[in-house]
Structure 1
């Protein structure tokens, strides 16, 4: 998952992002869980796993640091994707 601006990757990390961050997950409550999808990974997407169900967890640590993790419902111990967001004021 990489920051995208106007359809192009504009940063390779989440340290002091100059724009708002939006995390979109299509996993929640999907009746297609476990089915293979015809969708493929786009250049602005660092990760895609379209045949398993899961959920995301946002944890705000303090006013300058947050982390987001995505878990497969079959393995709650290890996230399959995650980002750390840092913003200096």
Structure 2
């Protein structure tokens, strides 16, 4: 399959040199590099989170909220903080 990549000049130059030094084509170098990157990102290399990043008391009100409700709270608090900063700048 044909595709176009927009690479920084220095990266392309180094890739061409590496391909010549390996005795292969730029196409083969890019293919090998992509395969290596994709195969290296297997789920076994990723660590699954086994405990929550914060601890809440069993009766904490936040435990009763849905993930969407928590996102709304976070969005509202960010908006309030932005408004407070804007108000402070105007003073």
> TM-score by structure 2 length?
0.16
User: More helix per residue: 1 or 2?
Assistant: 2
Higher strand share: 1
Which of the pair has more CA radius of gyration? Answer: 2
Tell which has more relative contact order, 1 or 2 (C-alpha 8 A, sep 6+).
Answer: 1
